[in-house]
Amino acid sequence: MARKTLAVLISGRGTNLQSLLDAAAQGDFPCTVGLVVSNRPGAPGLERAARAGVPHMTIDHRAFGKGEEGRAAFEAVLTEALADAGADLVCLAGFMRILTNSFVKRWEGRLINIHPSLLPAFRGLNVHQRMIDAGVKIAGCTVHFVSAEMDSGPIIGQAAVPVLPGDDAEALAARILIEEHRLYPACVRLLAEERARLQANGTVAFAPDVAAGAALLNPAPH
């Protein structure tokens, strides 16, 4: 099967982007990263793309003005860039911009996100502190298809980590991030190999040969 082309959308430091770049540098990974787009000028993740020799660009959303018109104009430019790059799959990796329904529809089944909680718990922002405040004992991360509502799309894979006594948001975020960096490439692999796909009824179907451990990284099933 030909390698698929990923586009990765970022806004910041880009450690999840790095995990995808590192995976793509391995010969047996079924994708290459064809484009990295940041909506924020100077995002450190752009440097990571440069170091990996991957085409990268900034599409500064602020240049398109506010309101619905500005959002649509921003997405039109983004859509063109993704099409020019021949993107098969679009990965949001710390992309801090809400996408419109029409963009989400256009990429339905090919647009995925990583979120640092075990969805559907703790959608939105500031999740690490909110998990500590809530006293949860198990946290984790989720890779999911993007749907119109934020952090709500069909789940592809998850990994869990403990919340330990004395954790602050930073310590918990660091523990989850280690799993994020394993989970995102694993889920991208499943999609690129067409061993996982979004079905019309909004659930995710896995090929019969997909081991439970492919999408449930930690704890591994036994």
140 binds ligand GRF per the rule CB under 6 A: no
Closest CB 190 distance from ligand GRF, rounded Å? 18
Q: Which is nearer to ligand GRF, 16 or 147 (CB)?
A: 16
Tokens of 170: 């930073």
Region 29-58 residues binding ligand GRF, contact defined as CB under 6 A: 45
Closest CB 65 distance from ligand GRF, rounded Å? 26
Q: How far apart are CA 94 and CA 17, in angstroms?
A: 9
Q: How many CA atoms lie within 13 A of 83 on its CB side?
A: 8
- Nearest residue (beta carbon) to ligand GRF: 94
* Inter-CA distances, 7 with 50, 82, 216, Å: 14, 7, 24
Region 79-138 residues binding ligand GRF, contact defined as CB under 6 A: 93-94, 114-116
* Inter-CA distances, 207 with 43, 65, 88, 214, Å: 37, 44, 19, 11
- Count the residues of the shown chain that bind ligand GRF, applying the rule CB under 6 A: 15
Region 178-207 residues binding ligand GRF, contact defined as CB under 6 A: 180
